[in-house]
Amino acid sequence: MKGDDGLEQTNKQLINSKVNIVYITFFLALVLITWLGFLCYPRPNIVELPPSNGVCNLSENNFDGTLYRTNTVWEAWPYQLYTPKDFENDVVTDPPQYLDEEEAMLTSYATYKIRLILPPDTYYGISMVTSEYAMRIYIDGEEIDSVGTPGTTKETTDHRTQERTYYSRTQHSGIVDIIVQTANFVLVRGSGAPQLIIGASSNIMDRNDASLVVNFLISGCLIAAFLYHVGLFCLNRTRRTDLIFAICCLLLAVLNKRLIFIFWPNCPFSVVMLILYTATLLPYPLLISLFECLHPKLMCKYAVQGYYILSGMYLLLLLIDDRIFTELYIGLQVVSVFMMAYLLVRLATLLRNEKLQSYLYFMGSLALSIAAINDMFYYRGIIIIPFVDGQFFMSPIAMIFFVFCYALAVSLDRAETENKIHDTMEKERILAAENAALDRTNELREKLMATISHEARTPLAVLSSYASLVAIELRDKGMDEQTTADLDKISFEAKRVANLIDSMKRMTLSTEKIAERIALDLGDMARQTAQLYMPILERTGVALIIQTEDNLPMVLGNPAELTQVLFNLLQNSKNHTTSGSVTVFAEQDEAFVAICITDTGTGIPTHILPDVFERGIKGDDAGSGIGLAVCKEIIEGHNGTIRIDSEWGKGTKVTIVFPAYKEGNKSE
């Protein structure tokens, strides 16, 4: 039966897994279609122009729906900052140089000049990215804009970073002269000439709008993921993974510099660079930490700790000297790529468990690793994956894919947890129904045993006692030994069955039933029980003496159980006393009520006295050995005590003590 249940459970899991694969595929396809829909936002086509030196001729080009990206090598005057007037007044005497990209990037400050030949009388736009340096722009001899302040030293240079777009109209000649001063004393790779995107004003606007849509789509997704996971962490602060993941999303969101300038328009360049480099440095150590939380034994702890230490050292270096940091940053990027590759290998080992969560984690990490490699090469000026308009780093885009993969994996985990909870609740419901049935059965059994005990216990006790008396009288009259032996046997078996019924009744009673107690007068109960037993003792020639104090405190107890105790103790006294007396005495002892039953019988042998309350211990062959054990169990259940003092051949004294009952305190 269990095997069938296990097979059914396995089949159910397989079906659920296949259904989940279908829904996950549908979800990711929906995300891809939505993403492509935004990427298909109407935008003009961008055409790469062939390389040229100093002059870019676009007079014959079609500007309808097309933009042009220049590959023109600018005329350059390294380590000079010239203005248009310097050129007009022949201050510039040095011939221009044509620097390749590497030479330009290694120049701290310079002046660049380019001539554009555009269709005459045309409204045009020029878009350029200032990268991470200061730049002053002149168009046709007039200063159009200044991003920061270019200077000849770090102290005289005010660094800024921004993307700029300028709109104007060409003269009749169609010639546009652009002079740009650049300076960079922060980055090792310095102030190269800007790359221009030229086209009709309307096309430049469309391109900028499309770029904004993509930028804010990426940033919006990452910020929404950040806020969502921060909310999850606030609701459940034990889930560190939500907080780590939220920080990763926020860091990659601020790689979009536009976001920084929206919230902080005049943000200092040093702060911008600190934010950007922190945003590129920390996400990968945080992702390693995320998977460490999800799978604590996934990676070698020494490799992970070493990576954390190295990342911390680079962060400290960034705070001390950002220029040295940029020179050495490639080292951390290489290590980060190797760590992501190591993470991928370790995640691949989890694919053997065939859980969808493992495949989702692997796909998300793979996308991030590819993006990290691409960004590392982009940082060195090598483009592997063409960048999306306005988004030079691929890590934020890959992070969005990882967000969806992570969200799906977490949803699957929570769905599995909910299914387990549902199964557990169903099992609890079934168990509760079974327990209710068992309770009904126990209740019927208790009623049956109570009825049997009530109807059979007293007759059996009387039968036992009178059979014993008849045997004694017949033996005194000379009846044959077989008849008296049969009567003794009847008496013994009646007592044994009565004791057995008492034991069975107590075993079947539930704790709640046993606990049903009332306030009762123990002295009066002792007197009534003794009087009931008096004829039996007197017929054996044993006197029964009853001495109870008046106005004894009440005792909280179960009348049936305490009557059984007194009856058992009197029965024992009768069995071991052939002459003399049995005394029942009740008194108050401070906050307790004590009952003493004393007889002048044979007493208890010394060797069994220490174990007299153990089941099976008996002083002769006539007893069952369970009477005193049952008495002790009942008395202690009433928070009372029982003590036996006996001397062989002189008699026995049994003392039972119960706490007095105080109104409103049923624990006593």
Out of 423, 453, 480, a domain closes at 423
CATH code assigned at 81: 2.60.120
Is residue 532 very low, low, confident or very high in pLDDT (cuts 50, 70, 90)?
Answer: confident
- Give the model's confidence band at 621: pLDDT under 50 very low, under 70 low, under 90 confident, else very high: low
Q: Does residue 667 register a pLDDT over 60? A: no
Using the predicted structure, report yes or no on whether residue 146 has a pLDDT greater than 50: yes
659 phi and psi angles, rounded to 5 deg: -70, 140
Q: Report pLDDT for 108.
A: 85
Backbone angles phi, psi at 153, to 5 degrees: -140, 170
Q: C-alpha distances in angstroms, 516 versus 372, 510, 557, 658, 659?
A: 74, 10, 8, 17, 17
For 539-594, give the DSSP string.
Answer: HTTEEEEEEE-SSPPPEEE-HHHHHHHHHHHHHHHHHT-SSEEEEEEEEEETTEEE
Side chain identity at 29, as an amino acid letter? Answer: A
- Per cent of the chain over pLDDT 90 is 9
CA dist list (Å): 236 to 135, 172, 243: 49, 69, 10
Query: From its phi and psi, is residue 148 left (phi > 0), alpha (psi between -120 and 50) or beta?
Result: left
Number of H helices, E strands in the chain: 17, 20
Per-residue confidence band for 435, with pLDDT thresholds at 50, 70 and 90: confident
pLDDT at 166 over 60: yes
pLDDT tens, position by position, 563-582: 888 888 888 888 888 888 89
Q: Flag whether 543 is in a domain.
A: yes
Is the pLDDT confidence value at 112 over 50? yes
Angle at 320 between CA 182 and CA 130, to 5 degrees: 20
- Could you tell me if 251 and 282 are in contact, meaning their C-beta atoms sit under 8 angstroms apart? yes
pLDDT band at 598 (very low <50, low <70, confident <90, very high): very high
- Count up the domains in the chain and report the number: 4
Indicate if 188 and 69 belong to the same structural domain.
Answer: yes
Cα gap 98→78, rounded to integer Å: 10
Whether pLDDT at 273 is above 90: no
Domain containing 667 — which CATH number? 3.30.565.10
**Residue 590 lies inside a defined structural domain of this protein:** yes
Q: What is the pLDDT of residue 387?
A: 60
- Check residue 306 and give its pLDDT: 93
Q: Do residues 281 and 312 make contact, with C-beta atoms less than 8 angstroms apart?
A: no
Question: Within 10 Å of residue 429's Cβ, how many Cβ atoms?
Answer: 10
Check whether 7 has a pLDDT greater than 60: no
Residues 382 and 285 occupy one common structural domain: yes
The residue from 394, 423, 452 where one domain ends is 423
At residue 385 the predicted structure's pLDDT band, cuts being 50, 70 and 90, is low
Q: Do residue 556 and residue 618 come from a single domain?
A: yes
For residues 169 and 272, state if they share a domain.
Answer: no
Statement: residue 85 has pLDDT above 90: yes
Indicate whether 497 belongs to any domain: no
> 540 in a domain, yes or no?
yes
CA dist 134 and 151 (Å) reads 8
The answer on 149 and 35 residing in a single domain is: no
Other Cβ atoms less than 10 A from the Cβ of 531: the count is 12
Q: What pLDDT score does 664 carry? A: 46
Round to whole Å and give the CA distance between 222 and 395: 11
The answer to the question of residue 288 being in a domain is: yes
Q: Which residues are CB-contacts of 640 (< 8 A; sequence separation ≥ 6)? A: 656, 657, 658, 659
Q: Which of 402, 423, 444 is the last residue of a domain?
A: 423
The pLDDT-based confidence of 627 (bands split at 50, 70, 90) is: confident
625 pLDDT above the threshold of 80: no
Could you tell me if 306 and 201 lie in one domain?
no
pLDDT value at residue 390? 54
Lowest mean pLDDT among 357-366, 427-436, 599-608, 609-618: 609-618
90 pLDDT above the threshold of 90: no
In a domain, 450, yes or no: no
Q: What's the mean pLDDT in 83-90?
A: 91
pLDDT top residue among 305 and 101: 305
Whether 387 maps to a domain, the answer reads yes
Question: How many whole angstroms separate alpha carbon 362 and alpha carbon 644?
Answer: 77
- Residue 240 falls inside a structural domain: yes
Based on the domain organization, do 194 and 237 belong to the same domain? no
| Same-domain status, 624 and 604 | yes
Q: Are residues 287 and 171 in the same domain?
A: no
Highest mean pLDDT: which range of 91-100, 132-141, 314-323: 91-100
Give the pLDDT score at 393. 65
User: Can you give the pLDDT at residue 15?
Assistant: 56
Read off the pLDDT band of 113 (50, 70, 90): very high
Of 664, 660, 510, the C-alpha closest to 589 is 660
Asked if 341 and 255 sit in the same domain, the reply is yes
What mean pLDDT is reported for the chain? 80
222 — pLDDT class (breaks 50, 70, 90): confident
**Judgement on whether residues 86 and 199 belong to the same structural domain of the protein:** yes
pLDDT band at 3 (very low <50, low <70, confident <90, very high): very low
At 421, is the pLDDT very low, low, confident or very high (cuts 50, 70, 90)? Answer: confident
Q: Which residue has the tokens 């099992």?
A: 427
Q: Which domain holds residue 13?
A: 1-40
Q: Which residue has the higher pLDDT, 195 or 657?
A: 657
Q: If you average pLDDT over residues 385-413, what whole number do you get?
A: 75
When comparing pLDDT for 515 and 48, which is higher? 48
- 663 or 65: whose pLDDT is higher? 65
Longest dimension (CA), the chain: 161
- Domain check: are 127 and 266 in the same one? no
**Residue of 541 and 454 predicted with greater confidence:** 541
